[in-house]
Chains A and B, each alone.
Chain A
Amino acid sequence: MTLEITNITKVFGEQTAVDSININVPAGSMYGFLGGNGAGKTTTFRMILKLLTPTSGTILYNNETIGYHMTNKIGYLPEERGLHPKLKVSEQVLYLAELKGMSKKEANKALDYWLERFKVTENKFKKIEKLSKGNQQKIQLIASIIHNPELIILDEPFSGLDPINVEMLKDAVKELNAQGSTIIFSTHRMEHVEELCEELCILDRGKQIVSGNIDQIKKDFGQKEIIIEGEHDISFVKDMPGVLEMKQIRNKSVIKIAEEKYAEDIYNRITDIGYFKRFQVNEPSLNDIFIAKVGRDYE
């Protein structure tokens, strides 16, 4: 186990920002933190990094308390973007890389690689304030991963970027993960988590709604979604056992069932009627899980 968070709580005055969270992040995994504004994602990250002291609970990285002796192994991209506006890109990144224990020579070589990778080589000697917001964000990401850290924490890495840049950054994150880095990132976009992560934690107003392996979560959740497309009337299905909800749009029906075992009965009943061009059993979406657990829609 790489990162083990046990029962951490953070209280600011009257407000509980994070309420008894328990998470295990396996080494080499890509872990997603999902939650809207004020869910407690940033506070949790700051506690992992020791920038905030938890009110209670423990955080261990490789069975050790996180401290400044191991910050060179960790890369962090904060949610609130900002670099020294008056510094040149090279000065800024080399400074932050040196703070992570790199030599100037190593850092310079790595900087050239990443500038090339993100197609921003021409900005190396430009002042940060002269860069577009998107390019500043790329530079900040470079600064947080340049030292090839074991553990990378990215707080909303894709927010504010256009789709092309989001894809570029996603590829870089996947590459780092493939090279062995454990990556934790937060987002409020469910599709990013579904696409990138094997493990996730959904937070809502400081509370941990669900966490663990995504496939396992979906499996444990039980509910499935069936999509049926055909010309015949199948309205009788909504009264069959195990059916929770049914929506019909022209000749397409979307049915929610409590467990997968009910799908077979439905299949048998409708195929008796005649030909259907589609019968598909889907895993529940994260939004379905969120609604079921919280009792309201996501965000």
Chain B
Amino acid sequence: MNKFMTTFNLTFFSKLKAKSFLVTTLIIIAGMFIAFNLDKIIGLFDSEDDALMLQVDADESFLSVFEPTLQSYDETIELVEADGNATLEVVNTEPLEAEMRMDEEISTSQEQNIQLALNETNRAYVLQSLELSQEEIAQVYEEVPVEFLVAAGDDSGEFEAAGADDTNVLNMIIFYFSVILMFIIILNYASQIATEIANEKSSRVIEMIVSSIRPTQHLMAKVFAMISVSVIQVGLITAGGLIAFYFSDTTALLEQFGLETNDQTLKIVIYCIIYVILGLILYLSVAAMLGSFINRMEDLQQGLMPVTFLSMIGYFIALGGMSFADNIAVTITSYFPFFTPFVMPLRLLVNDTGHTPMLIGIAIMTATIIITLLLAGFVYKRSVLSTESGIIKNLKRIRK
């Protein structure tokens, strides 16, 4: 155990101190701070909206409708009685016509908001001219209740509410964030771990090392150190995200994009975290096994191709599978361990599958991770002193 920790510490601290680790973590955290404060950043570049003093040349009845309507659309426009930098003159009331004279051009959004407020005022004028009662006016503005139904799809001929299948935007963002993060970290760390192992073998220092520590113990220490570093990075990024969320006033942003939690959100968060960690462990174990086959650095990329391809397929199923997540093919791929971490959260997100498939997925992945690690140890032990150049030759050597 002591020797395990010696190798673990060397790998863990050298990776933790590496510039690449600090830089990628900081870039992603900075990206999240920017995303959570996007409205304020946009506001910084859109500051001319603040200062429109609008003078309105119209009668009291027009102003009594127009002023509150405009205020509700745009807080950046202030109505003044004199010395405004723009003047809105009502030229005609039936039908309503207006003319806007400005000292300088105003922003498009202000133009649009003035237009909307005018439309609203016009509608009120027309309704008033029809001499409708308050109730009748209220009825005009009332939304028509409509129920959207879709076929249940179980040959019963019944229909069910379509709204039930609507995917919560916040949950979707959590899912996409976790999948993209997992994919980036897999590609980054898989290459790092394979490089680390292959480098050690090609430098031949390995012969001194394995004369002191069991090859399998050495490999496991390295793999666990890398996994720990990657999990710490995920943790730092998540913590950075939470801090960014906490310190940013995100209410406006959440409202703007319709982001609100629902009863599925906690489940999504928990399963996404579990699957990201399991996905990392699985792919890093495979990368360690592939690294064990490699003796020359120039064979590294070729050797890592299975990791790249498998993670890429899983990634694209997850990204593009939203519209056909209930397809049987997606269900099947979700049980293939290399796609499970990408596809299972997708099924949970879209179909709200419940806990059972999620737990089966976790069990499948855990079993695959154990088998992969055992296999990696087996391959490493037999190929550690090999100088065969190709993977195929190494495979033949191991089979002997």
Chain A positions within 8 Å of B, measured between CB atoms, are 13, 46, 49, 51-52, 68, 71-72, 74, 76-78, 80-85, 87, 91-92, 95-96, 98-101, 140, 143-144
Contacts and interface: CB of A to CB of B under 8 A. Distances in A.
A212 B34 CA distance: 77
A76 B213 CA distance: 13
B334 to A, nearest CB: 41
B203 A85 contact: yes
B396 to A, nearest CB: 10
Contact of A81 (B204, B210, B385): B204
B211 A76 contact: yes
B207 A99 contact: no
A51 B6 contact: no
B204 A99 contact: no
Given A52-B385, A95-B6, A99-B3, A76 B208 contact: yes
Interface in B189-232: 199-200, 202-205, 207-214
Given A96-B208, A96-B212, A13 B203 contact: no
Contacts of B10: 91, 95
B214 A99 contact: no
A84 B211 contact: no
B2 A82 contact: no
B2 A78 contact: no
A110 to B, nearest CB: 16
Given A46-B385, A101-B2, A51 B211 contact: yes
A52 B386 CA distance: 11
A82 B211 contact: no
Nearest to B204: A82
A103 to B, nearest CB: 11
Nearest to B215: A51
A5 B205 CA distance: 26
Contacts of B7: 95, 99
B19 interface: no
B212 A71 contact: yes
A95 B202 CA distance: 19
Contacts of B6: 95, 98-99
Contacts of A96: 208-209, 212
A143 B400 CA distance: 33
Nearest to A99: B212
Nearest to A46: B385
B209 A68 contact: no
A84 B205 contact: yes
Nearest to B2: A101
Interface in B1-31: 2-3, 6-7, 10, 14
B209 A99 contact: yes
Contacts of A68: 213-214
A80 B207 contact: yes
A71 B204 contact: no
A100 B385 CA distance: 20
Nearest to B203: A82
Interface residues of B, number: 22
B320 to A, nearest CB: 40
A13 B214 CA distance: 25
6 contacts: A78-B207, A78-B211, A81-B204, A82-B203, A83-B205, A100-B212
Nearest to B218: A99
Contacts of A49: 211
Given A76-B207, A95-B7, A98-B3, 18 more contacts: A51-B211, A72-B212, A76-B211, A78-B208, A80-B204, A80-B207, A81-B204, A84-B200, A84-B205, A87-B14, A91-B10, A92-B205, A96-B209, A96-B212, A99-B209, A101-B2, A140-B208, A144-B208
A186 B257 CA distance: 74
A46 B209 CA distance: 13
A76 to B, nearest CB: 4
B34 to A, nearest CB: 34
A71 B211 contact: yes
* Chain B CB within 10 Å, residue with most, of A13, A71, A77, A143: A71
Contacts of A82: 202-205
A86 B208 CA distance: 17
A77 B204 CA distance: 11
A143 B212 CA distance: 12
Contacts of A52: 385
A13 B14 CA distance: 40
A96 B6 CA distance: 9
A99 B7 CA distance: 8
Contacts of A74: 211
B2 to A, nearest CB: 7
B97 to A, nearest CB: 77
Contacts of A101: 2
Contacts of B3: 98-99
B339 to A, nearest CB: 35
A241 B199 CA distance: 64
A152 B59 CA distance: 105
Nearest to A140: B208
A98 B207 CA distance: 16
B287 to A, nearest CB: 19
Contact of A51 (B200, B204, B385, B400): B385
A99 B213 contact: yes
Nearest to B400: A13
Nearest to A48: B211
Contacts of B200: 84
Nearest to A153: B211
Contacts of A46: 385
A66 to B, nearest CB: 10
A85 B213 CA distance: 20
Contacts of B214: 68
Contacts of A85: 203
